Amino acid sequence: DTAVSQTPKYLVTQMGNDKSIKCEQNLGHDTMYWYKQDSKKFLKIMFSYNNKELIINETVPNRFSPKSPDKAHLNLHINSLELGDSAVYFCASSPKQTSSYNSPLHFGNGTRLTVT
Amino acid sequence: GQQLNQSPQSMFIQEGEDVSMNCTSSSIFNTWLWYKQDPGEGPVLLIALYKAGELTSNGRLTAQFGITRKDSFLNISASIPSDVGIYFCAGRSVLYNQGGKLIFGQGTELSVKP
């Protein structure tokens, strides 16, 4: 199946721990994203990578560090987890964006992170 | 920062009724997208709009890219129980388009009573 897949689907951990979420897409897309969905369902972009290069870095704490080993993977590492990091994190991908071509994002099914 | 205002926030309707929701932005957009999110899953694209005035249908769904390029609406006709979910508008601002940044509305939670 062609898709954006992320693991794990659920992640429960204690404050202060370090955790990673992995994302892979087999759609052949050049651009990958991380979005955070809060308890009110609001989706906010965190990072965007185009062919392994960081393009967007919103005002996200530097405890969050994305890593893109190749254009099909974008992992998210979070250090020193805090209660406020609890949310659903979505990975997404799209073909390369240009000034004349804007394509939709394809989303994974999310990772629900609970920090206790 | 750039914001999208989506309304209504929630709707409770009877099966068979038509539904309408809309989004407005404070700046001009060059792309409007409508997504649906089911519980425990990621948003799934319903309709993509790329030109001002464009009207596009996908089955019982119809969406339009506003002439002013600052708004879009989504209509669902003859709703059925499986239409239940959260509907999001999303768009790309002409000004804030770095890296294909997609901005989302707050979502409209739709409940359909059989």
pLDDT at A14 over 80: yes
Q: What radius of gyration, in Å, describes the C-alpha atoms of chain A?
A: 14
Per-residue pLDDT at A53: 85
Average pLDDT, chain B: 92
Q: Left (φ > 0), alpha (ψ -120 to 50) or beta: where does B106 sit?
A: alpha
Any CB–CB contact under 8 A between A97 and chain B? Answer: yes
Closest approach of chain B CAs to the CA of A10, in angstroms? 10
Q: Do A41 and B106 touch (CB under 8 A)?
A: yes
Per-residue pLDDT at B100: 65
Residue A66 to residue B102: CA distance in whole angstroms: 18
Partner-chain residue, chosen from A4, A56, A99, that has the shortest CB–CB distance to B101: A56
Q: Do B42 and A4 touch (CB under 8 A)?
A: yes
Average pLDDT, chain A: 91
Best of A50, A97, A112 to mutate (most B CBs within 10 Å, chain B): A97
Q: Do B99 and A31 touch (CB under 8 A)?
A: yes
Q: Which of B99 and A105 is assigned the larger pLDDT?
A: A105
Name the one residue in this structure whose structure tokens are 């030109």. Answer: B51
**Chain CA centroid to CA A11, Å:** 14
- The amino acid present at A110, given as its one-letter code, is G
User: Which residues in chain B come in under a pLDDT of 50?
Assistant: none
Closest approach of chain A CAs to the CA of B31, in angstroms? 7
Tens digit of each residue's pLDDT (9 = 90 or more) over B83-105: 999 999 999 877 665 656 788 99
Mean pLDDT of A8-36: 95
pLDDT at A101 over 60: no
